[in-house]
C-alpha cells in the first residue's frame, strides 16, 4: 500500500491513498506564485518557449505557467514509480501528455523552424554520431485559467532528416495513466 503525490520540484501539492488498485488525486485550484514561471521572460528559469519568433503568436506573454509530475511513494516516503499521462489514439499508439497550470488564459499558435542534433548509430563507423536534423514545431495550444492537458506528437522523417513536432491541447478524458514499469506496453509516438 502506498500513496501517490502530485509534485512540483519535489514539493507536495496534493496526494491520494492507493486502494482497490487505484488512487484519486484532486488538483489544487491554485498554485502559489513560487511554483509557477512566466512563459516568456522566465525569470532565469527554463520554460517551454523562451523567444517568440515572427512565425508564432502568444496571446498573453505574462501568463504564469506551472508543470507538475506524479510519483508513487511507499509508507516510508520512498519513490516507487513515476506516473505518466498518455493520450491513446484510435490506432492504439500513444502520445505523452502533460498537465499544466496557468494563472490566466493564453493561446499559442504558429510554428518554429530550427535545427537539432540527433544521436544516431553509424554502421560504417560502428559508433554513435550526432547528425543535424531540421525540426519544425507547430503550436495549437489554448489554455484556460487553471489546469490544462496537452501533448506533443513527434514524427521522424529519416530520409530527409526532418523531425516534426506538434503541441496541441487535448481533453483530459482522452488521457490514461501508466506507471513507469508499464510504459513498455505502449506504442509511443
What's the grid cell of residue 100? 499544466
Under-50 pLDDT residues of the chain: 1, 42-47
What is the distance between the alpha carbons of residues 28 and 173, in angstroms, rounded to a whole number? 18
Query: What pLDDT, on a 0 to 100 scale, did the predictor assign at position 169?
Result: 93
Count CA atoms closer than 13 A to 62's CA, side-chain side.
Answer: 0
> How far apart, in whole angstroms, are the C-alpha atoms of residue 147 and residue 49?
18
Alpha-carbon gap, residue 155 to 152, rounded angstroms: 10
Beta strand pairing call for 106-122 and 79-88: unpaired
pLDDT of residue 188: 63
Domain ranges of the chain: 2-188
Alpha carbons within 13 A on the beta-carbon side of 50: 6
- According to DSSP, residue 165 is labeled E
Amino acid at each position: 500500500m502506498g500513496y501517490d503525490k502530485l509534485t512540483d520540484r519535489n514539493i507536495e501539492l496534493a496526494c491520494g491513498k492507493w486502494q482497490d488498485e487505484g488512487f484519486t488525486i484532486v488538483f489544487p485550484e491554485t498554485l502559489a506564485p513560487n511554483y509557477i514561471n512566466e512563459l516568456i521572460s522566465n525569470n532565469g528559469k527554463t520554460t517551454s518557449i523562451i523567444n517568440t519568433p515572427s512565425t508564432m503568436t502568444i496571446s498573453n506573454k505574462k501568463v504564469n505557467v506551472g508543470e507538475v509530475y506524479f510519483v508513487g511513494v511507499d509508507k516510508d516516503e520512498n519513490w516507487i514509480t513515476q506516473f505518466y499521462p498518455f493520450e491513446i489514439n484510435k490506432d492504439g499508439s500513444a502520445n505523452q501528455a502533460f498537465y499544466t497550470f496557468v494563472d490566466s488564459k493564453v493561446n499559442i499558435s504558429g510554428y518554429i523552424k530550427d535545427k537539432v542534433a540527433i544521436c544516431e548509430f553509424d554502421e560504417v563507423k560502428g559508433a554513435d554520431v550526432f547528425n543535424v536534423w531540421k525540426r519544425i514545431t507547430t503550436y495549437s495550444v489554448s489554455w484556460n485559467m487553471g489546469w490544462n492537458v496537452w501533448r506533443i506528437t513527434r514524427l521522424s522523417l529519416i530520409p530527409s532528416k526532418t523531425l516534426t513536432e506538434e503541441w496541441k491541447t487535448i481533453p483530459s478524458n482522452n488521457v490514461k495513466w501508466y506507471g513507469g514499469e508499464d510504459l513498455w506496453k505502449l506504442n509511443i509516438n
